[in-house]
Structure 1
Amino acid sequence: MFDNIYTEPSYNAVHTNFNGGNTQWIILELDEDSTLLQQSFIYKFNGCELSGPSIVCNTGGTFSISNIPYGVILSWNKSSNLSEDSSGVNYVVMKAIGSGEGWVQAQLSGGGTNVFSEQKTVWVGGPKIDYISGPAYAPNYQWATYYAQPNNYLMAATDYEWILNPLNGNSVYDYGWTADIAFYNSGYYQVVARAQNTCGWGSYAVLGVEVYDSKSLSFLPNPTTGETTLTIETNSSEKIFDETAQWDLEIYSPMQALKTKKTRLKGKSTTIQTAGWTEGVYMVRVKYQNEVLTGKLVVKR
């Protein structure tokens, strides 16, 4: 039954309400002789929603629209790193053919008019590390921090792998999307990283690093059984140690727990008491001016 008639000088528009579940209107545009000129559909959707996974792998992910009104046409659009595998009345299966951010869009239309559109942002394929940020030129006996970029929450990385090639007696500390590297030996290296999510491991990113000679830490004796003397050594004749500068000392156990700490030290040397310490290799960090020097102290009993 018609519930309203709207009249314009050039045409009449008649609309009727049917399908009470999803308020649906048909608009009929008539000329002065009541000849049908155009028919289009306008919909109001109650609970119509696009759902699907936030990550799409090459095994496929299913996206669907709920509560589709009667008589509409459903079509799907997608980003270029996705391919449509199969579809049904209210769903589509998308597969990854690349990696990175992507999107899936559902469109509902009737009478040649798009009346509803919803888009969902997804991550496609394995994690993608575009580059590694951090120093490409670093002194030895210091720490350098590196970051896998971008740190995109959409790729939902569950694990990271960091590699220093060659390792050459240096140490790598993996903290997820960041890593600390303690460089002891000068030379040329590659810092390598990749990430993993539910789709698998992504590709490697590589940064070339040159490590040059700078200040270093020496221990006498090393290994030690009860006491050792730490000395800050200057490896370059161009760099003179400032005897009046204050510096801090931190020593970490083999389990990376802070074992001891000294602050506001002066001079090149300090004594470290290791009596009663568990055997193992201890990481020593010295914060001197704007530098962080590192060394390895071996404790034996």
Structure 2
Amino acid sequence: MKFLLDGLLLLSLLILFSLESLVKLFIPKKRKSVTGEIVLITGAGHGIGRLTAYEFAKLKCKLVLWDINKHGIEETAAECRKLGAKAHTFVVDCSNREDIYSSAKKVKKEIGDVSILVNNAGVVYTSDLFATQDPQIEKTFEVNVLAHFWTTKAFLPAMMENNHGHIVTVASAAGHTVVPFLLAYCSSKFAAVGFHRALTEELAAFKRTGVKTTCLCPNFINTGFIKNPSTSLGPTLEPEQVVSRLMNGILTEQKMIFVPSSVAVLTVLERILPERFLVVLKRKINVRFDAVIGYKTKEQ
């Protein structure tokens, strides 16, 4: 009897919360103010990181820009200053834990406690398993996943103490669905999505509801890292449209952002549709890009 009552209660809550979510789709979400916040962005010397820095600069945040490319972050910082924001640059190798920790210590000492952390730095190698060199696999995980642990361990304590802050994980649609010849990248992005989800639950367990989390999962972006990408899900995304969605998601405290939204539908379908149908569906989606193939089939 208890099982039946619990089932009825859960069903009623499912209907209620589903209706609530449907109604909220038609109500514009209030955007929070981030003026004066200290925002740290990794991989800020180009692409998504650079454009995200510009948007935070327009909102009068104090910016801390990390990148391994000194010239790139100096260019980003110069533009942010033109937009009226204070910008501090640090040359940091996000594949190196000790470099991250020592740089974080300098940031806290010289600038203050970071309240918005954007883990954006990433690397990708478009090749099959055999053509991907061991150091490339290691670096993929060091930058795309492990760096998130080190930066978060460095800056989250102050956020938890103040019960105020935001951790942003820039992942990928490849963190939910896979394609050939991106084995290391997909694996690392699955881990990044898992990091975001587990961190979200851990913060809830600590009752630190003032520390928010957001995860960005876009399809192919026109940043030059992947050559000649194409898919029937839609055209290659421009960085500006991705950053627009990201900023809106941060300011309205969305937990998961899919760009385009059809990626979210695909992730659900993969869990419920028959495997043979999924094979046909993926052929129709037809994800393609230039890749290095190291595996050679034996001649018959």
Tell me: higher relative CO, structure 1 or 2? Use CA pairs within 8 A at least 6 residues apart.
Answer: 2
Answer 1 or 2: which has greater helix percent.
2
Same fold (TM over 0.5): no
Answer 1 or 2: which has greater strand percent.
1
**Rg comparison, structure with higher value:** 1
Q: TM-score, normalised by structure 2?
A: 0.24
